[in-house]
Protein backbone atom coordinates (compact mmCIF):
# COMPACT_ATOMS: atom_id res chain seq x y z
CA UNK A 1 0.00 0.00 0.00
CA UNK A 2 1.12 3.55 -0.72
CA UNK A 3 0.28 5.78 2.16
CA UNK A 4 2.67 8.68 1.69
CA UNK A 5 1.11 9.93 -1.56
CA UNK A 6 -2.64 10.11 -1.95
CA UNK A 7 -3.91 8.27 -5.05
CA UNK A 8 -6.43 11.06 -5.77
CA UNK A 9 -3.51 13.47 -6.30
CA UNK A 10 -2.00 10.97 -8.71
CA UNK A 11 -5.29 10.80 -10.62
CA UNK A 12 -5.60 14.55 -10.68
CA UNK A 13 -2.07 14.93 -12.04
CA UNK A 14 -2.76 12.32 -14.72
CA UNK A 15 -6.04 14.01 -15.67
CA UNK A 16 -4.31 17.33 -16.12
CA UNK A 17 -1.47 15.83 -18.10
CA UNK A 18 -3.51 13.76 -20.55
CA UNK A 19 -6.23 16.41 -21.00
CA UNK A 20 -8.18 16.86 -23.29
CA UNK A 21 -8.46 13.08 -23.33
CA UNK A 22 -9.81 11.33 -20.27
CA UNK A 23 -9.41 8.13 -18.34
CA UNK A 24 -12.40 5.86 -18.74
CA UNK A 25 -13.77 4.01 -15.70
CA UNK A 26 -11.93 0.74 -16.48
CA UNK A 27 -8.63 2.55 -16.94
CA UNK A 28 -9.18 4.21 -13.59
CA UNK A 29 -9.79 0.86 -11.91
CA UNK A 30 -6.58 -0.52 -13.36
CA UNK A 31 -4.55 2.46 -12.19
CA UNK A 32 -6.04 2.39 -8.71
CA UNK A 33 -5.41 -1.30 -8.29
CA UNK A 34 -1.88 -1.18 -9.70
CA UNK A 35 -1.29 1.58 -7.18
CA UNK A 36 -2.56 -0.79 -4.48
CA UNK A 37 -0.19 -3.48 -5.70
CA UNK A 38 -2.78 -5.79 -7.25
CA UNK A 39 -1.94 -8.09 -10.16
CA UNK A 40 -3.92 -8.03 -13.42
CA UNK A 41 -5.34 -11.48 -12.77
CA UNK A 42 -6.51 -10.53 -9.27
CA UNK A 43 -8.12 -7.39 -10.71
CA UNK A 44 -9.88 -9.38 -13.41
CA UNK A 45 -11.16 -11.77 -10.77
CA UNK A 46 -12.30 -9.02 -8.36
CA UNK A 47 -14.09 -6.95 -10.98
CA UNK A 48 -15.33 -9.83 -13.05
CA UNK A 49 -13.42 -8.89 -16.21
CA UNK A 50 -11.68 -11.10 -18.73
CA UNK A 51 -7.94 -11.18 -17.75
CA UNK A 52 -6.93 -10.57 -21.40
CA UNK A 53 -9.14 -7.48 -21.49
CA UNK A 54 -7.54 -6.04 -18.36
CA UNK A 55 -4.12 -6.69 -19.87
CA UNK A 56 -5.04 -4.79 -23.05
CA UNK A 57 -6.48 -1.91 -21.03
CA UNK A 58 -3.22 -1.81 -19.06
CA UNK A 59 -1.10 -1.92 -22.18
CA UNK A 60 -2.93 1.01 -23.80
CA UNK A 61 -2.84 2.92 -20.57
CA UNK A 62 0.95 2.72 -20.24
CA UNK A 63 1.28 3.89 -23.81
CA UNK A 64 -0.96 6.89 -23.18
CA UNK A 65 0.88 7.78 -19.98
CA UNK A 66 4.31 7.32 -21.54
CA UNK A 67 3.56 9.73 -24.34
CA UNK A 68 1.79 12.22 -22.06
CA UNK A 69 4.63 12.34 -19.51
CA UNK A 70 7.26 11.84 -22.18
CA UNK A 71 8.87 9.03 -20.24
CA UNK A 72 8.67 5.23 -20.45
CA UNK A 73 6.01 4.23 -17.90
CA UNK A 74 4.89 0.66 -17.25
CA UNK A 75 3.26 -1.44 -14.57
CA UNK A 76 6.60 -1.92 -12.82
CA UNK A 77 7.69 1.70 -12.50
CA UNK A 78 4.31 3.45 -12.35
CA UNK A 79 4.20 3.76 -8.54
CA UNK A 80 7.74 5.09 -7.94
CA UNK A 81 7.45 7.38 -10.99
CA UNK A 82 4.23 8.95 -9.72
CA UNK A 83 5.54 9.26 -6.16
CA UNK A 84 8.54 11.16 -7.44
CA UNK A 85 6.43 13.40 -9.71
CA UNK A 86 4.01 14.31 -6.93
CA UNK A 87 6.73 15.04 -4.41
CA UNK A 88 8.45 17.30 -6.96
CA UNK A 89 5.16 19.11 -7.52
CA UNK A 90 4.57 19.52 -3.80
CA UNK A 91 8.05 20.96 -3.34
CA UNK A 92 7.43 23.34 -6.22
CA UNK A 93 4.12 24.42 -4.77
CA UNK A 94 5.56 25.00 -1.31
CA UNK A 95 8.36 27.15 -2.64
CA UNK A 96 5.90 29.07 -4.79
CA UNK A 97 3.58 29.57 -1.82
CA UNK A 98 6.47 30.83 0.25
CA UNK A 99 6.97 33.48 -2.35
CA UNK A 100 3.50 34.85 -1.84
CA UNK A 101 3.93 37.69 0.61
CA UNK A 102 0.59 39.34 1.06
CA UNK A 103 -2.68 37.85 2.18
CA UNK A 104 -4.49 39.20 -0.88
CA UNK A 105 -2.28 37.28 -3.26
CA UNK A 106 -2.81 34.06 -1.42
CA UNK A 107 -6.60 34.44 -1.53
CA UNK A 108 -6.23 35.07 -5.22
CA UNK A 109 -4.37 31.77 -5.42
CA UNK A 110 -7.29 30.05 -3.72
CA UNK A 111 -9.70 31.65 -6.20
CA UNK A 112 -7.76 30.34 -9.15
CA UNK A 113 -7.99 26.85 -7.73
CA UNK A 114 -11.78 26.94 -8.00
CA UNK A 115 -11.76 27.31 -11.78
CA UNK A 116 -11.04 24.56 -14.21
CA UNK A 117 -10.42 25.96 -17.67
CA UNK A 118 -9.19 22.75 -19.40
CA UNK A 119 -8.67 23.74 -23.07
CA UNK A 120 -10.27 27.21 -22.97
CA UNK A 121 -8.59 29.63 -25.40
CA UNK A 122 -6.48 32.50 -24.19
CA UNK A 123 -8.44 35.77 -24.17
CA UNK A 124 -5.58 38.20 -23.63
CA UNK A 125 -6.26 39.84 -26.99
CA UNK A 126 -10.03 39.88 -26.63
CA UNK A 127 -11.64 43.04 -28.06
CA UNK A 128 -15.13 44.57 -28.21
CA UNK A 129 -18.39 42.73 -27.48
CA UNK A 130 -19.28 45.13 -24.64
CA UNK A 131 -23.02 45.02 -25.32
CA UNK A 132 -23.09 41.23 -25.68
CA UNK A 133 -21.25 40.75 -22.38
CA UNK A 134 -23.61 43.19 -20.68
CA UNK A 135 -26.60 41.23 -21.98
CA UNK A 136 -25.11 37.88 -20.88
CA UNK A 137 -24.42 39.31 -17.43
CA UNK A 138 -27.98 40.52 -17.03
CA UNK A 139 -29.36 37.11 -18.07
CA UNK A 140 -27.02 35.31 -15.69
CA UNK A 141 -28.32 37.38 -12.80
CA UNK A 142 -31.88 36.19 -13.33
CA UNK A 143 -32.36 33.34 -10.87
CA UNK A 144 -34.74 31.54 -13.25
CA UNK A 145 -32.13 31.39 -15.99
CA UNK A 146 -30.48 27.94 -16.13
CA UNK A 147 -29.08 27.82 -19.63
CA UNK A 148 -27.67 30.30 -22.13
CA UNK A 149 -26.77 29.29 -25.67
CA UNK A 150 -24.57 31.53 -27.79
CA UNK A 151 -25.18 30.49 -31.35
CA UNK A 152 -24.03 31.68 -34.73
CA UNK A 153 -22.09 31.18 -37.93
CA UNK A 154 -18.80 29.32 -37.88
CA UNK A 155 -15.96 31.52 -36.59
CA UNK A 156 -18.15 34.42 -35.47
CA UNK A 157 -16.49 34.48 -32.03
CA UNK A 158 -18.72 32.29 -29.85
CA UNK A 159 -15.99 30.44 -27.96
CA UNK A 160 -14.07 33.66 -27.34
CA UNK A 161 -17.17 35.42 -26.05
CA UNK A 162 -18.37 32.73 -23.63
CA UNK A 163 -14.84 32.27 -22.30
CA UNK A 164 -14.31 35.98 -21.74
CA UNK A 165 -17.72 36.23 -20.12
CA UNK A 166 -16.96 33.34 -17.76
CA UNK A 167 -13.64 34.93 -16.81
CA UNK A 168 -15.36 38.24 -16.10
CA UNK A 169 -17.97 36.80 -13.76
CA UNK A 170 -16.06 33.90 -12.20
CA UNK A 171 -16.06 35.56 -8.77
CA UNK A 172 -19.87 35.28 -8.59
CA UNK A 173 -19.57 31.48 -8.62
CA UNK A 174 -18.11 28.84 -6.34
CA UNK A 175 -16.67 27.03 -9.33
CA UNK A 176 -16.24 27.57 -13.03
CA UNK A 177 -15.75 24.51 -15.21
CA UNK A 178 -14.92 24.93 -18.91
CA UNK A 179 -15.35 21.97 -21.19
CA UNK A 180 -15.52 21.36 -24.92
CA UNK A 181 -17.61 18.70 -26.64
CA UNK A 182 -15.25 18.84 -29.61
CA UNK A 183 -14.06 15.26 -29.02
CA UNK A 184 -17.66 14.10 -28.53
CA UNK A 185 -17.39 12.45 -25.12
CA UNK A 186 -20.26 10.20 -24.10
CA UNK A 187 -22.57 11.78 -21.54
CA UNK A 188 -21.25 9.34 -18.95
CA UNK A 189 -17.69 10.47 -19.55
CA UNK A 190 -18.69 14.11 -19.35
CA UNK A 191 -20.58 13.63 -16.08
CA UNK A 192 -17.76 11.56 -14.66
CA UNK A 193 -15.37 14.37 -15.40
CA UNK A 194 -17.63 17.05 -13.97
CA UNK A 195 -18.08 15.06 -10.78
CA UNK A 196 -14.41 14.36 -10.49
CA UNK A 197 -13.52 18.01 -10.90
CA UNK A 198 -16.17 19.23 -8.46
CA UNK A 199 -15.20 16.63 -5.87
CA UNK A 200 -11.55 17.52 -6.26
CA UNK A 201 -12.34 21.19 -5.82
CA UNK A 202 -14.33 20.42 -2.67
CA UNK A 203 -11.85 17.83 -1.40
CA UNK A 204 -14.57 15.21 -1.19
CA UNK A 205 -14.07 11.51 -1.75
CA UNK A 206 -14.64 10.41 -5.30
CA UNK A 207 -17.06 7.60 -5.98
CA UNK A 208 -15.55 5.52 -8.74
CA UNK A 209 -16.23 2.46 -10.79
CA UNK A 210 -18.82 1.70 -13.45
CA UNK A 211 -22.06 3.36 -12.43
CA UNK A 212 -25.47 3.95 -13.96
CA UNK A 213 -26.06 7.10 -15.97
CA UNK A 214 -29.09 8.02 -13.87
CA UNK A 215 -26.97 7.83 -10.73
CA UNK A 216 -24.27 10.07 -12.22
CA UNK A 217 -26.85 12.55 -13.42
CA UNK A 218 -28.61 12.85 -10.08
CA UNK A 219 -25.32 13.16 -8.24
CA UNK A 220 -24.30 15.87 -10.70
CA UNK A 221 -27.54 17.83 -10.28
CA UNK A 222 -27.01 17.50 -6.53
CA UNK A 223 -23.67 19.27 -6.94
CA UNK A 224 -25.37 22.06 -8.88
CA UNK A 225 -27.72 22.50 -5.93
CA UNK A 226 -25.06 22.47 -3.25
CA UNK A 227 -22.63 24.74 -5.05
CA UNK A 228 -23.04 27.66 -7.40
CA UNK A 229 -21.33 26.34 -10.50
CA UNK A 230 -20.83 28.04 -13.85
CA UNK A 231 -20.57 25.36 -16.53
CA UNK A 232 -19.14 26.53 -19.82
CA UNK A 233 -19.76 23.97 -22.53
CA UNK A 234 -18.13 24.71 -25.87
CA UNK A 235 -18.88 23.21 -29.31
CA UNK A 236 -22.32 21.87 -28.46
CA UNK A 237 -22.83 21.39 -32.22
CA UNK A 238 -20.54 18.34 -32.09
CA UNK A 239 -23.38 16.23 -30.68
CA UNK A 240 -26.07 17.78 -32.91
CA UNK A 241 -27.10 17.30 -36.51
CA UNK A 242 -29.26 19.12 -39.01
CA UNK A 243 -31.91 16.88 -40.53
CA UNK A 244 -34.03 17.91 -43.48
CA UNK A 245 -35.89 20.43 -41.36
CA UNK A 246 -34.64 20.61 -37.79
CA UNK A 247 -31.65 20.39 -35.54
CA UNK A 248 -31.66 17.47 -33.13
CA UNK A 249 -29.23 15.30 -31.18
CA UNK A 250 -27.16 12.77 -33.09
CA UNK A 251 -28.50 9.31 -32.39
CA UNK A 252 -25.61 8.18 -30.23
CA UNK A 253 -25.84 11.37 -28.12
CA UNK A 254 -29.56 11.28 -27.56
CA UNK A 255 -29.11 11.13 -23.79
CA UNK A 256 -27.70 14.65 -23.82
CA UNK A 257 -31.29 15.86 -24.19
CA UNK A 258 -31.93 14.41 -20.75
CA UNK A 259 -28.83 16.19 -19.46
CA UNK A 260 -30.02 19.57 -20.76
CA UNK A 261 -33.54 18.93 -19.56
CA UNK A 262 -32.30 18.16 -16.05
CA UNK A 263 -30.19 21.29 -15.91
CA UNK A 264 -32.97 23.48 -17.25
CA UNK A 265 -35.95 22.19 -15.34
CA UNK A 266 -34.62 21.28 -11.90
CA UNK A 267 -34.13 23.74 -9.08
CA UNK A 268 -30.52 24.66 -8.41
CA UNK A 269 -28.25 27.69 -8.22
CA UNK A 270 -25.95 26.98 -11.17
CA UNK A 271 -25.82 28.08 -14.81
CA UNK A 272 -24.84 26.40 -18.07
CA UNK A 273 -23.55 28.58 -20.89
CA UNK A 274 -22.89 26.90 -24.18
CA UNK A 275 -21.40 27.93 -27.51
CA UNK A 276 -22.83 26.24 -30.56
CA UNK A 277 -22.93 26.68 -34.32
CA UNK A 278 -26.49 25.35 -34.33
CA UNK A 279 -29.13 25.03 -31.63
CA UNK A 280 -31.35 22.05 -30.87
CA UNK A 281 -34.99 22.59 -31.72
CA UNK A 282 -35.96 21.22 -28.31
CA UNK A 283 -34.70 24.40 -26.63
CA UNK A 284 -37.76 26.16 -28.00
CA UNK A 285 -39.93 24.16 -25.62
CA UNK A 286 -38.69 25.88 -22.48
CA UNK A 287 -39.85 29.21 -21.15
CA UNK A 288 -37.87 32.20 -22.24
CA UNK A 289 -36.76 32.83 -18.66
CA UNK A 290 -35.16 29.43 -18.29
CA UNK A 291 -33.32 29.37 -21.60
CA UNK A 292 -31.77 32.41 -23.25
CA UNK A 293 -30.37 32.39 -26.76
CA UNK A 294 -27.90 34.89 -28.11
CA UNK A 295 -27.61 34.87 -31.90
CA UNK A 296 -24.10 36.16 -32.25
CA UNK A 297 -23.18 38.23 -35.30
CA UNK A 298 -19.79 39.48 -36.44
CA UNK A 299 -17.98 42.50 -34.96
CA UNK A 300 -19.23 46.07 -35.20
CA UNK A 301 -17.09 48.40 -37.27
CA UNK A 302 -15.21 49.88 -34.34
CA UNK A 303 -14.22 46.43 -33.05
CA UNK A 304 -13.15 45.38 -36.55
CA UNK A 305 -10.86 48.42 -36.64
CA UNK A 306 -9.29 47.53 -33.31
CA UNK A 307 -9.09 43.84 -34.22
CA UNK A 308 -7.32 44.49 -37.53
CA UNK A 309 -5.01 47.02 -35.91
CA UNK A 310 -5.39 49.47 -38.79
CA UNK A 311 -3.34 52.31 -37.31
CA UNK A 312 -0.31 51.64 -39.48
CA UNK A 313 -2.28 51.63 -42.74
CA UNK A 314 -3.01 54.58 -44.96
CA UNK A 315 -6.53 56.04 -44.90
CA UNK A 316 -7.16 54.52 -48.34
CA UNK A 317 -6.01 51.05 -47.28
CA UNK A 318 -8.08 51.37 -44.14
CA UNK A 319 -11.21 52.20 -46.11
CA UNK A 320 -10.59 49.31 -48.46
CA UNK A 321 -10.08 46.84 -45.64
CA UNK A 322 -13.21 48.01 -43.88
CA UNK A 323 -15.20 47.63 -47.12
CA UNK A 324 -13.84 44.14 -47.47
CA UNK A 325 -14.68 43.33 -43.84
CA UNK A 326 -18.31 44.20 -44.51
CA UNK A 327 -18.44 41.61 -47.28
CA UNK A 328 -17.27 39.07 -44.67
CA UNK A 329 -19.95 40.25 -42.23
CA UNK A 330 -17.06 41.19 -39.92
CA UNK A 331 -16.64 37.53 -39.02
CA UNK A 332 -13.45 37.37 -36.89
CA UNK A 333 -12.30 34.02 -38.26
CA UNK A 334 -12.66 35.22 -41.86
CA UNK A 335 -11.01 38.52 -40.97
CA UNK A 336 -8.05 36.62 -39.55
CA UNK A 337 -7.61 34.64 -42.76
CA UNK A 338 -7.80 37.80 -44.85
CA UNK A 339 -5.30 39.53 -42.58
CA UNK A 340 -2.84 36.71 -43.22
CA UNK A 341 -3.17 37.17 -47.00
CA UNK A 342 -3.12 40.94 -47.26
CA UNK A 343 0.07 40.91 -49.32
CA UNK A 344 -1.52 39.10 -52.26
CA UNK A 345 -4.22 41.73 -52.73
CA UNK A 346 -2.81 44.50 -54.82
CA UNK A 347 -6.06 45.19 -56.60
CA UNK A 348 -8.20 48.18 -55.71
CA UNK A 349 -11.40 46.53 -56.72
CA UNK A 350 -13.26 44.96 -53.75
CA UNK A 351 -15.25 42.73 -56.09
CA UNK A 352 -12.04 41.34 -57.60
CA UNK A 353 -10.47 40.82 -54.15
CA UNK A 354 -13.58 38.96 -53.10
CA UNK A 355 -13.25 36.67 -56.12
CA UNK A 356 -9.62 35.95 -55.22
CA UNK A 357 -10.49 35.37 -51.59
CA UNK A 358 -13.15 32.81 -52.38
CA UNK A 359 -10.42 30.77 -54.06
CA UNK A 360 -8.44 30.41 -50.84
CA UNK A 361 -8.72 26.93 -49.42
CA UNK A 362 -9.05 28.21 -45.85
CA UNK A 363 -12.07 30.25 -46.88
CA UNK A 364 -13.77 27.61 -49.00
CA UNK A 365 -13.34 25.01 -46.25
CA UNK A 366 -14.94 27.32 -43.76
CA UNK A 367 -17.86 28.19 -46.05
CA UNK A 368 -18.46 24.53 -46.95
CA UNK A 369 -18.58 23.65 -43.25
CA UNK A 370 -21.05 26.43 -42.66
CA UNK A 371 -23.27 25.11 -45.47
CA UNK A 372 -23.22 21.65 -43.93
CA UNK A 373 -25.13 22.96 -40.90
CA UNK A 374 -28.07 24.21 -42.97
CA UNK A 375 -31.38 22.47 -43.57
CA UNK A 376 -32.48 21.58 -47.12
CA UNK A 377 -34.76 24.58 -47.38
CA UNK A 378 -32.09 26.93 -46.03
CA UNK A 379 -29.62 25.63 -48.60
CA UNK A 380 -32.13 26.12 -51.39
CA UNK A 381 -32.71 29.72 -50.32
CA UNK A 382 -28.97 30.32 -50.20
CA UNK A 383 -28.48 28.97 -53.74
CA UNK A 384 -31.28 31.09 -55.16
CA UNK A 385 -29.80 34.17 -53.57
CA UNK A 386 -26.38 33.20 -54.93
CA UNK A 387 -27.54 33.28 -58.54
CA UNK A 388 -29.79 36.28 -58.19
CA UNK A 389 -28.19 39.55 -59.33
CA UNK A 390 -30.18 41.96 -57.21
CA UNK A 391 -31.66 41.61 -53.71
CA UNK A 392 -35.02 39.83 -53.82
CA UNK A 393 -38.24 39.94 -51.84
CA UNK A 394 -39.86 37.10 -49.92
CA UNK A 395 -42.58 36.76 -52.57
CA UNK A 396 -40.05 36.46 -55.39
CA UNK A 397 -38.12 33.94 -53.36
CA UNK A 398 -41.21 31.89 -52.67
CA UNK A 399 -41.99 31.83 -56.43
CA UNK A 400 -38.53 30.43 -57.16
CA UNK A 401 -38.61 27.62 -54.63
CA UNK A 402 -39.26 24.28 -56.20
CA UNK A 403 -41.42 22.78 -53.46
CA UNK A 404 -43.91 25.46 -52.70
CA UNK A 405 -43.28 26.11 -49.05
CA UNK A 406 -45.85 27.61 -46.71
CA UNK A 407 -45.03 31.29 -46.42
CA UNK A 408 -44.54 30.95 -42.67
CA UNK A 409 -41.88 28.22 -43.01
CA UNK A 410 -40.08 30.26 -45.63
CA UNK A 411 -40.04 33.45 -43.61
CA UNK A 412 -38.89 31.48 -40.55
CA UNK A 413 -35.94 30.05 -42.50
CA UNK A 414 -35.05 33.43 -43.97
CA UNK A 415 -35.16 34.83 -40.47
CA UNK A 416 -32.81 32.14 -39.14
CA UNK A 417 -30.37 32.76 -42.00
CA UNK A 418 -30.44 36.49 -41.28
CA UNK A 419 -29.65 35.82 -37.62
CA UNK A 420 -26.71 33.67 -38.78
CA UNK A 421 -25.43 36.65 -40.82
CA UNK A 422 -25.62 34.59 -44.01
CA UNK A 423 -28.40 36.74 -45.40
CA UNK A 424 -28.52 40.52 -45.33
CA UNK A 425 -31.88 42.21 -45.08
CA UNK A 426 -32.40 45.61 -46.60
CA UNK A 427 -35.95 46.94 -46.33
CA UNK A 428 -38.01 43.98 -47.50
CA UNK A 429 -35.28 42.62 -49.76
CA UNK A 430 -32.72 39.95 -49.09
CA UNK A 431 -29.24 39.30 -50.42
CA UNK A 432 -26.50 36.78 -49.69
CA UNK A 433 -23.34 37.43 -47.69
CA UNK A 434 -20.99 38.58 -50.50
CA UNK A 435 -18.12 36.16 -49.86
CA UNK A 436 -20.58 33.24 -49.83
CA UNK A 437 -22.09 34.54 -53.07
CA UNK A 438 -18.71 34.70 -54.83
CA UNK A 439 -17.81 31.26 -53.57
CA UNK A 440 -21.10 29.60 -54.55
CA UNK A 441 -21.21 31.16 -58.02
CA UNK A 442 -17.75 29.82 -58.74
CA UNK A 443 -18.74 26.43 -57.36
CA UNK A 444 -21.89 26.29 -59.50
CA UNK A 445 -19.94 27.12 -62.66
CA UNK A 446 -17.37 24.47 -61.83
CA UNK A 447 -20.10 21.88 -61.28
CA UNK A 448 -21.83 22.83 -64.53
CA UNK A 449 -18.59 22.42 -66.48
CA UNK A 450 -17.85 19.10 -64.83
CA UNK A 451 -21.28 17.65 -65.55
CA UNK A 452 -20.97 18.85 -69.16
CA UNK A 453 -17.66 17.05 -69.62
CA UNK A 454 -19.19 13.87 -68.19
CA UNK A 455 -21.94 13.79 -70.82
N1 LIG B 1 -13.81 39.39 -29.37
C2 LIG B 1 -12.69 38.89 -29.91
N3 LIG B 1 -11.52 39.49 -29.69
C4 LIG B 1 -10.38 39.01 -30.26
N5 LIG B 1 -10.33 37.93 -31.06
C6 LIG B 1 -11.48 37.28 -31.30
C7 LIG B 1 -12.73 37.72 -30.75
N8 LIG B 1 -13.69 36.90 -31.18
C9 LIG B 1 -13.09 35.98 -31.94
N10 LIG B 1 -11.77 36.19 -32.03
C11 LIG B 1 -10.80 35.38 -32.78
O12 LIG B 1 -11.42 34.91 -33.96
C13 LIG B 1 -11.23 33.52 -34.16
C14 LIG B 1 -12.56 32.79 -34.13
O15 LIG B 1 -13.16 32.97 -32.87
P16 LIG B 1 -13.85 31.78 -32.05
O17 LIG B 1 -13.03 30.56 -32.08
O18 LIG B 1 -14.26 32.34 -30.76
O19 LIG B 1 -15.12 31.57 -32.98
P20 LIG B 1 -16.26 30.47 -32.86
O21 LIG B 1 -17.53 31.13 -33.21
O22 LIG B 1 -16.17 29.79 -31.56
O23 LIG B 1 -15.82 29.49 -34.04
P24 LIG B 1 -16.35 27.98 -34.30
O25 LIG B 1 -17.69 28.11 -34.94
O26 LIG B 1 -15.32 27.42 -35.22
O27 LIG B 1 -16.38 27.30 -32.97
C28 LIG B 1 -10.30 33.08 -33.05
O29 LIG B 1 -9.01 33.08 -33.55
C30 LIG B 1 -10.44 34.15 -31.98
O31 LIG B 1 -9.25 34.34 -31.28
MG1 LIG C 1 -15.87 27.77 -31.10
> Measured from the CA of 156, which atom of ligand 1 is nearest?
21
Q: Which residues contact 101 (CB under 8 A, 6 or more apart)?
A: none
Is the CB of 129 inside a 6 Å radius of any atom of ligand 1?
yes
User: What separation in angstroms does the CA of 203 have from each of 15, 147, 200, 268?
Assistant: 16, 27, 5, 21
Give yes or no for residue 157 CB within 6 A of ligand 1.
yes
Ligand 1 atom having least distance to the Cα of 275: 22
Is residue 292 a contact partner of residue 140, using CB atoms and an 8 Å limit? no
CA torsion through residues 349, 353, 354, 355, sign: positive
Q: Is the CB of 336 under 6 A from ligand 1?
A: yes
DSSP code of residue 253? G
Distance 135 CA to ligand 1 centre (A): 19
Instruction: Identify the CA nearest to 152 among candidates 438, 402, 450, 370.
Output: 370
Please name each of the domains of the chain with its CATH number.
7-99 (1.10.10), 113-295 (3.40.50.300), 301-357 (no CATH), 367-454 (1.10.10.10)
107-165 residue pLDDT tens: 444 444 588 877 888 888 999 999 999 999 999 999 899 999 999 999 999 999 999 99
Percent above pLDDT 90 for the chain: 49
Which ligand is closest to the CA of 297, given by its number? 1
Residue of minimum CA distance from atom 3 in ligand 1: 126
3-state helix, strand, coil in the chain (%, to 5): 60, 10, 30
Q: What is the pLDDT of residues 86-115, one digit of tens each?
A: 888 877 776 666 654 434 434 444 444 588
First-to-last alpha carbon distance for the chain, in angstroms, is 75
For 28-50, the pLDDT digits (tens) are: 889 999 988 899 999 899 888 89
pLDDT computed for residue 97 by the predictor: 60
Amino acid sequence: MNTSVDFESVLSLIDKTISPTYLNPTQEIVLREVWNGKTYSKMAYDYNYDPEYIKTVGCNLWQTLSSAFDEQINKGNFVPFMRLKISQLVEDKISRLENYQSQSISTDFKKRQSCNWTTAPNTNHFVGRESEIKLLKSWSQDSDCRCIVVSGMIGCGKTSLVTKFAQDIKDNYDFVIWFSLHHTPSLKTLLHNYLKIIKQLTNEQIHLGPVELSFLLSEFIDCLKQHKVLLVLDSLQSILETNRKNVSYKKEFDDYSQFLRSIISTNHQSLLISASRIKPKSLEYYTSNQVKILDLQGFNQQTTKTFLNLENNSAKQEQQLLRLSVTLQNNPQLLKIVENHLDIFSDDNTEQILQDLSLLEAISNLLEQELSYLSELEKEIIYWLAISCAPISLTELSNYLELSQPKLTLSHSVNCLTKRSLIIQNDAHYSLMPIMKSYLRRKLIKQALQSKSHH
